[in-house]
Copies of this chain bind each other. A is one copy, B any other.
Amino acid sequence: MSFPQSDLVQRGISDEFYQALEAAVGAAHVVVDPKAMEPRLIEDRGLYRGSALALVRPGTTEEVAKVVRVCRAAAVPIVPQGGNTGLVGGGVPQDAVVLVTDRLNRIRAVDPLNSTMTVEAGCILSNIQQAANDIDRLFPLSLASEGSCQIGGNLSTNAGGTAVLRYGNMRELVLGLEVVLPDGEILNDLNGLRKNNTGYDLRNLFIGAEGTLGIITAAVLKLYSKPVLRATALVACEGPQAALALYDRLRSRNADSLSTFEYIERIALQMVLDHTPGCADPMAQEHPAYVLVELTSSDPEADLDTRLEAALAAAFEVEEILDAVIGASESQRDALWALRENLSEAQKFAGASIKHDVAVPVSRVAEFLMTASSACRAHVPAVRICPFGHFGDGNIHFNLSRPLDMSDADFLEEYPAFNRIVHDIVAELGGSISAEHGIGLVKRQELRRYKDPVALRVMEQIKTVLDPEGLMNPGKVL
């Protein structure tokens, strides 16, 4: 095999380095061909393009540790990558070795009675969901990229998605971790315990650290009882204030089964109706806003439809909602879900968009939506505001599509200005500028602006003590 030369030799990276990588993982698993590396240099939306010395594909945790030690000895940065589906450029390398986790794809253990599963970082999320389903359990994490994203990436970004309302973020779905540290040692805490108070909680330090503190190689995941019933409704309402009242109503009585509360404004729904074949408005009239509501239960006698109907009837009675359609069959329920699931795709037809993945306290979602919408319209009057998302988590994807009569390029020039407008309002409301996507490259400057400086300093202290050479996914988060 011939290795890239040129300036690498000048930097002291020579054949010996590549040979050491090959010795660590086998020659077949060190990739330097530019064409083969290409898909690993860019992120999903093409916002960033990086460069790599090699892709390395270890097959075991011990091999990951060897790669880390080889890179460390040569002072070469390491960027771990799973499915490379992240949305903030967290996996983009710069003159680094890309450590691809796809060969770490074993389900090491399944323990139905403990409701746990021990998986390696490279397992694809949908495969994990399926393996849980095979033993009559649920692994609840669910997100758009589940067919290709890997659990290692889900862990490193503390992934969110549509099941957070009921089951929590990725962080809440993990009991134990195995991590290769920046010095190549292996932290072994693959415990399957619900209770364990033996020292500092290192697990949560690595979860959500976006690969900057070490490489997660395996995890013990929590499984849940499999729901066997669901009741699904699309509910129309006047706007966020009404949605909040409905949320409070459902939560107070149906807390045991409430699993979904997703908000969609009409303009966003209209984009789905306009651009997604097979999607139709289930209501006769147009309404300002909608909520997709779902109750689920593992009790086959739970009679969720009756409960949902009763709750919605009571809400209708007091004019909290304008209309509602309850799915009467699995296919009708799937059709209601399709209206939510196709939002991101449909918005692509509307031209350039400027997105904000933000969260505020649930009590302030309505205030956020109204204030931020006004402020954005004051900046660009014809901007099309398409907010939707996880209302019950306080997490809104506050997406702006360009005005019909504006070019993509002109609109995208307003990216920083819109960021400032929206993030300032989020900060004012005690919110987060990154609810579920993380910081990566994209939001690094914004983090410096909005994060408590003392918290930033502690983050830097931890980074420095665990990764003094700064070789683990450098330039991300901090």
The answer to whether B196 touches A201, judged by C-beta atoms less than 8 angstroms apart, is no
Indicate if A324 sits at the interface (CB-CB under 8 A): no
A114 engages B362 (CB within 8 Å): yes
| CA gap between A20 and B457 in the complex, in Å | 28
Docked pose: A433 CA to B193 CA in angstroms: 11
B204 lies within 8 A of A205 (CB) = yes
CA distance A383 to B158 in the complex (A): 47
Q: Which residues of B contact A207 (CB under 8 A)?
A: 201
Of A45-53, A55-63, A69-77, A462-470, the stretch lying at the interface with chain B is A462-470
Q: Which residue of B lies closest to A251 (CB)?
A: B225
Given A113-B362, A251-B225, A361-B193 in contact, is the A455-B298 Cβ separation under 8 Å? Answer: no
Contacts of A202 in B (CB 8 A): 455, 458-459
Chain B residues whose CB sits within 8 angstroms of the CB of A188 once the complex forms:
452, 454-455
Q: CB-defined interface of A158-196 with B at 8 Å, one 1/0 digit per residue?
A: 101000100011011000000001000111110111111
Contact between chains at A437 and B197 (CB < 8 Å):
yes
Tell me the A325-373 residues at the B interface (CB within 8 Å). 359-364
Of the candidates B115, B253, B435, the one whose C-beta lies within 8 Å of that of A196 is: B435
Q: Are A205 and B201 in contact, with the CB atoms below 8 A?
A: yes
Name the contact of A194 in the complex, choosing from B136, B186, B189, B362 (C-beta under 8 A): B362
Please, could you name 14 A-B residue pairs with CB atoms under 8 Å apart, sorted by A? A114-B364, A157-B197, A158-B197, A158-B201, A195-B390, A195-B395, A197-B434, A198-B432, A198-B443, A200-B213, A204-B204, A256-B256, A256-B297, A299-B307
Contacts of A411 in B (CB 8 A): none
Pick the most buried of A201, A205, A254, A395: most chain B CB atoms within 10 A of its CB: A201
Q: Which residues does A use to contact B, with CB under 8 Å?
A: 111-116, 136, 157-158, 160, 164, 168-169, 171-172, 181, 185-189, 191-205, 207-209, 213, 224-225, 244, 248, 251-257, 297-302, 307, 359-364, 390, 393-395, 430-439, 443, 447, 450-452, 454-459, 461-466, 477-478
A362 touches B204 (CB 8 A): no
Given contacts A192-B430, A193-B431, A199-B451, 17 further A-B contacts (CB under 8 A): A113-B362, A114-B364, A115-B251, A115-B362, A158-B201, A188-B454, A192-B361, A193-B359, A193-B432, A195-B436, A196-B359, A198-B443, A199-B459, A199-B477, A201-B207, A202-B458, A225-B251
Q: Are B390 and A199 in touch, CB under 8 angstroms?
A: no
Please tell me if the beta carbons of A205 and B205 are within 8 angstroms of each other in the complex. Answer: yes
Complex Cα–Cα for A200 and B452 (A) = 12
Contact present for B454 and A187 (CB under 8 Å): yes
- Identity of the chain B residue whose Cβ is nearest the Cβ of A187 in the assembled complex: B454
The answer to whether A194 touches B394, judged by C-beta atoms less than 8 angstroms apart, is yes
| Chain B CB within 10 Å, residue with most, of A189, A431, A458 | A458
Known: A113-B248, A114-B362, A432-B193. A452 touches B187 (CB 8 A): yes
Chain B residue at minimum C-beta to C-beta distance from A477:
B199
Contact assessment for A393 and B432 in the assembled complex, using a CB-CB cutoff below 8 Å: no
Flag if B195 contacts A458 (CB, 8 Å): no
Contacts of A364 in B (CB 8 A): 114
CB distance from A66 to the nearest CB of B (A): 16
- Main SS of chain A's interface residues? loop
Q: Is the CB of A200 within 8 A of B255?
A: no
Task: Take A205-B204, A454-B185, A458-B181 as given contacts and tell me if A225 and B252 are in contact as well, using a CB distance cutoff of 8 Å.
Answer: yes
CB-CB under 8 A from A359, the residues of chain B are: 193-196
A195 contacts B394, C-beta separation under 8 Å: yes
Contacts of A197 in B (CB 8 A): 157-158, 160, 208, 432, 434-439
Residues in B neighbouring A431, C-beta threshold 8 A: 193
| A111 cross-chain contacts in B, Cβ below 8 A | 361, 363
Contacts of A192 in B (CB 8 A): 361, 430
Across-interface contacts of A185 in B (CB, < 8 A) = 454, 457
A104 → B minimal CB distance (Å) = 19
- Complex: chain B residue closest to A394, CB-CB: B194
Q: A204-B201, A298-B253, A465-B464 are in contact. Are A164 and B458 (CB under 8 A)?
A: no
Given contacts A194-B395, A393-B195, A394-B194, contact A462 B462 (CB under 8 A): yes
Write the chain B residue with the least CB distance to A433. Answer: B198
A114 and B251 form a contact (CB under 8 A): no
Most buried by B among A207, A209, A394: A394
Name A257's closest neighbour in chain B (CB-CB): B256
Are A114 and B394 also in contact (CB < 8 A) when A452-B188, A465-B461 are? yes
**B181 touching A195, Cβ below 8 Å:** no
